[in-house]
């Protein structure tokens, strides 16, 4: 019987096996990459959950250098005291919320130290008749204690611009140039609370982010299945060539007939009924 399979040890089939192995290795790398992406997103969500509910600490403890920011502190609540610079307040365009267009309200806060920290006080909807809010809730007057969750600034977006009191992105160096003075350019804050409370209702506070884990696990499993299918197809192709090469051999023919009889014996009543229905159509 060994001689019937001798063709499978040829250079041709060795080459096919090498291709299948290379394909399986590539699938393995891609599967591992998908698992790595899933772990990255899980770590990001864990960071958000941990920092979002943490107790506030002084701003200087988390952002000691105004020009840099440690991403591991993102969404950590910090406390600071100062006075809002309402005249330098700006609106960030194109900030939808729950499917509605609107703006983020960025109000600079001059701290007791004299440095300026940008505070995102929340979201307001676009006006009914103009590309501008109908009203913007005013922050508290005078000295105010603010708790905010720190975030890194956003990158500058080429080709996107705005005019007047509107900006296209929270690019902190640009905001610093508008206000002047020693501004924080490494981080800004999402407002949590103000003391004293403002007389007007605050803009809507930011949602806690939920990282979408996506289909990474499913894709990882699919790549493993593709790798296994490569070897299954190789085995099927070898089996088909074996049948063709040995079609005239009585022993091979008898073996195939036994295999076919066993397959037929395993048929269910439903299979028989389907065959009968097919035969009369």
Domain membership flag for residue 66: no
**Do 188 and 223 belong together in one domain?**
no
Res 98: pLDDT: 87
Domain membership flag for residue 61: no
pLDDT tops 60 at residue 195: yes
Instruction: Identify the domain boundary among 134, 168, 195.
Output: 195
pLDDT tops 80 at residue 258: no
**Do 139 and 243 belong together in one domain?**
no
Q: How many domains does the chain have?
A: 2
**Do 186 and 84 belong together in one domain?**
yes
Contacts of 185 (CB under 8 A, 6+ apart): 66, 67, 153, 172, 173, 176
How many residues belong to the chain? 281
**Do 184 and 80 belong together in one domain?**
yes
Instruction: Identify the domain boundary among 195, 227, 252.
Output: 195
Domain membership flag for residue 133: yes
Domain membership flag for residue 233: yes
pLDDT tops 90 at residue 48: no
What average pLDDT does range 24-39 have in this prediction?
89
Domain membership flag for residue 45: no
Domain membership flag for residue 186: yes
Instruction: Identify the domain boundary among 134, 162, 195.
Output: 195
Q: Which domain holds residue 158?
A: 76-195
**Do 82 and 137 belong together in one domain?**
yes
Domain membership flag for residue 206: no
Percent of the chain scored above 70 by pLDDT? Answer: 81
More confident residue, 240 or 35: 35
Residues 126, 108 contacting (CB under 8 angstroms):
no
pLDDT tops 70 at residue 19: yes
pLDDT tops 70 at residue 275: no
What average pLDDT does range 200-224 have in this prediction?
84
**Do 82 and 176 belong together in one domain?**
yes
Res 160: pLDDT: 65
Residues 131, 125 contacting (CB under 8 angstroms):
no
**Residue 5: band (very low, low, confident or very high) from pLDDT cuts 50, 70, 90:** low
Domain membership flag for residue 125: yes
For the entire predicted model, the pTM comes to 0.69
pLDDT tops 60 at residue 277: no
Please tell me which of 29-33, 176-180, 237-241 the model is most confident about, judged by mean pLDDT. Answer: 29-33
- For 49, left (φ over 0), alpha (ψ -120 to 50), or beta? alpha
What average pLDDT does range 11-28 have in this prediction?
86
Block residue for tokens 């949602």 = 207
Residues 34, 217 contacting (CB under 8 angstroms):
yes
Res 212: pLDDT: 73
What average pLDDT does range 41-45 have in this prediction?
83
**Do 32 and 80 belong together in one domain?**
no
DSSP the chain: -GGGGGGGGSHHHHHHHHHHHHHHHHHHHHHHHHHHHHHHHHHHHHHHHHHHTSPPEEHHHH-SSTT---GGGTT-EEEEEEEE-GGG-EEES---BTTB-EEEEEEEEEETTS-EEEEEEEEEEPPSSSSS-S--PPPPSSEEEEEEEEEEPPPP-TT----TTEESS--HHHHHHHH-SSB--SEEEEEEEEESPPSSPPPBPPPPP----TTHHHHHHHHHHHHHHHHHHHHHHHHHHHHHHTTT-HHHHHHHHHHHHHHHHT--HHHHHHHHHHHH-
**Do 7 and 88 belong together in one domain?**
no
What average pLDDT does range 272-277 have in this prediction?
58
Res 1: pLDDT: 47
The burial class, CB within 10 Å (0-12 / 13-18 / 19+), for 43 is exposed
């Amino acid at each position: 019987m060994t001689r019937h399979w001798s063709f499978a040890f040829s250079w041709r089939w060795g080459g096919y096996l090498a291709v299948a192995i290379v394909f399986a290795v590539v699938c393995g790398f891609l599967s591992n990459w998908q698992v790595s992406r899933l772990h990255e997103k899980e770590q990001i969500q864990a960071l958000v959950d941990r920092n979002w509910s943490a107790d506030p600490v002084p701003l200087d403890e988390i952002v000691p250098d105004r020009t840099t920011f440690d991403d591991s502190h993102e969404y950590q609540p910090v406390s600071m005291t100062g006075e809002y610079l309402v005249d330098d307040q700006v609106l960030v365009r194109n900030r939808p919320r729950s499917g509605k267009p609107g703006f983020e309200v960025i109000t600079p806060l001059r701290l007791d130290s004299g440095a300026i920290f940008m505070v995102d006080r929340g979201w307001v909807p676009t006006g009914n008749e103009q590309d501008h809010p109908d009203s913007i809730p005013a922050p508290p007057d005078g000295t105010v204690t603010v708790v905010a969750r720190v975030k890194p600034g956003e990158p500058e977006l080429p080709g996107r611009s705005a005019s007047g009191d509107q900006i296209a992105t929270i690019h902190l160096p640009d905001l610093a140039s508008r206000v002047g003075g020693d501004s924080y350019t490494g981080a800004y804050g999402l407002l949590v609370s103000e003391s004293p409370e403002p007389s007007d209702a605050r803009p809507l506070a930011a949602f806690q982010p939920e990282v979408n884990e996506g289909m990474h696990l499913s894709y990882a499993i699919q790549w493993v299945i593709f790798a296994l299918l490569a070897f299954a197809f190789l085995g099927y192709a070898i089996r088909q060539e074996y049948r063709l090469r040995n079609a005239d051999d009585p022993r091979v023919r008898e073996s195939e007939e036994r295999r076919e009889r066993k397959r037929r014996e395993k048929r269910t009543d439903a299979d028989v009924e389907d065959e009968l229905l097919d035969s009369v159509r």
